């Protein structure tokens, strides 16, 4: 019988029931270190881990579990606590629940865009803090319709954002190292020549790519210098993809807007200049807050059922795809 070990409790009773039908299920929420995980997962064929801050499924764990065939993550990626490249080299199947994040992340990004363009968050702030009727405080605002949008990164989240924004504008440009001009054109998108092209030409720029050594500080002051007056930069990816000090320096003296859910240092320091400017909309890394993220348990059951039938799971990673994903 297939042995499945979850290094957590399965929060969805219906999903748990479906998974129990696939074999002998063990929940081991106390397996929080590589050593305790090895002990809990002996003879496991399938191992699923929650998000953990530190590495959990290390190469030592993989080597110590010879029966292991599939490793899964209850979150949207695997790199944060699984030695994904080594696992793939050893012939393991790696899966995750990224598809359940697409629509929530896309709608959250849309919310940041609309709140910034309409100044809605600022109106709310001033009315809550004593201004009786700040109706003319920001003058004429803008809507999203027919604005030129640039999306940086075209993985699952980037594609979801681009598809949703296309309901408002036909002018969507994609910066991607993994998608060809022909493929993007077939989907109704333009391909950006480079990052300069996006920052120079787009009114709304969304950073949605994965964080890894290659994308560390990929966006710098020189890019923000190219933004047009009143252009908006949104980051729902990772703060360390942006050289934050340079971004702040440019944004303080140029009339550009920022909508940031992530920061280079989290929590955001209390004295950060990002807290002091009406052109900067900030949120405490909550793009993952929508309750629809919890559909991940049902999706994980779907993926494990596919695997049990001998089918390829939808999220099964290749080495190339794994390298492009975020580390955290």
pLDDT in tens, 238-261: 999 999 999 999 999 999 999 999
pTM, full prediction: 0.95
CA distance 162 to 173: 9
Q: Do 101-282 and 3-96+292-324 have the same topology in CATH? A: yes
The domain spans of the chain are 3-96+292-324, 101-282
CATH code of domain 101-282: 3.40.50.720
3-state secondary structure of 89: helix
Evaluate whether 173 touches 148 at the Cβ level (below 8 Å): yes
Which stretches in the chain have pLDDT values below 70? 326-328
Q: Are 198 and 175 in contact (CB under 8 A)?
A: yes
Class of domain 3-96+292-324: alpha beta
Q: What residues are paired with 235 via a beta bridge?
A: 207, 260
Give residue 322's pLDDT: 80
Q: What DSSP element (H or E) covers 281?
A: strand 280-282
b/e per residue 210-245 (b: at least 16 CB within 10 A): bbbeebeebbbeebbeebeeebbbbbbbbbbbbbbe
Residue 54 confidence (pLDDT): 94
CA distances from 173 to 113, 131, 152, 311 (A): 16, 39, 9, 35
Q: What torsion do the CA atoms of 35, 38, 39, 41 make, to the nearest 10 degrees?
A: 150
End-to-end CA, the chain = 34
Give the tokens for residue 128: 């809550």
- Is-contact 185 178, C-beta < 8 A? no
Helices (H) and strands (E) in the chain, counts: 13, 12
User: What CA–CA distances, in Å, run from 270 to 1, 3, 37, 280, 316?
Assistant: 54, 48, 38, 15, 41
Helix (H, G, I), strand (E, B) or coil at 233: strand
Q: Give the pLDDT of residue 328.
A: 47
pLDDT at 326: 64
Q: Could you tell me if 55 and 293 are in contact, meaning their C-beta atoms sit under 8 angstroms apart? A: no
Per-residue pLDDT tens for 30-45?
999 999 999 999 999 9
Residue 66: closest CA among 41, 49, 40: 41
């Amino acid at each position: 019988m297939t042995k499945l070990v979850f290094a957590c409790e399965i929060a969805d009773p219906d999903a748990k029931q479906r998974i129990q039908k696939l074999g002998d299920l063990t929940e081991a929420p106390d397996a929080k270190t590589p050593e305790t995980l090895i002990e809990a997962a002996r003879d496991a064929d399938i191992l699923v881990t929650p998000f953990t801050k530190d590495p959990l499924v290390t190469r030592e764990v993989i080597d110590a579990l010879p029966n292991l065939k599939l490793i899964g993550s209850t979150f949207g990626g695997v790199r944060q606590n699984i030695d994904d490249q080594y696992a793939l080299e050893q012939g393991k199947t790696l899966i995750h629940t990224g598809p359940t994040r697409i629509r929530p992340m896309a709608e959250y990004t849309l919310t940041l865009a609309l709140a910034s363009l309409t100044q809605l968050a600022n109106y709310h702030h001033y009315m809550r803090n004593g201004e009786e009727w700040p109706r003319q405080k920001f003058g004429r605002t803008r809507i999203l319709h027919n604005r030129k949008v640039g999306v940086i990164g075209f993985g699952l989240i980037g594609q979801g954002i681009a598809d949703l924004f296309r309901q408002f504008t036909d002018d969507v440009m994609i910066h991607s190292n993994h998608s060809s001009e022909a493929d993007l054109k077939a989907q109704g998108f333009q391909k950006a020549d480079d990052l300069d092209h996006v920052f120079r030409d787009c009114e709304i720029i969304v950073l949605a790519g994965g964080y890894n050594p290659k994308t560390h500080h990929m966006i710098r002051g020189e890019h923000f210098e190219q933004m047009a007056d009143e252009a908006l930069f949104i980051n729902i990816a990772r703060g360390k993809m942006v050289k934050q000090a340079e971004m702040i320096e440019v944004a303080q003296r140029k009339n550009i807007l920022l909508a940031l859910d992530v920061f280079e240092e989290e929590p955001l320091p209390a004295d950060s200049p990002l807290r002091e400017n009406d052109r900067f909309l900030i949120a405490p890394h909550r793009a993952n807050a929508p309750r629809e993220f919890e559909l991940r348990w049902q999706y994980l059951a779907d993926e494990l059922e596919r695997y049990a039938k001998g089918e390829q799971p939808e999220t099964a990673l290749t080495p190339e795809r794994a390298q492009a994903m975020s580390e955290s």
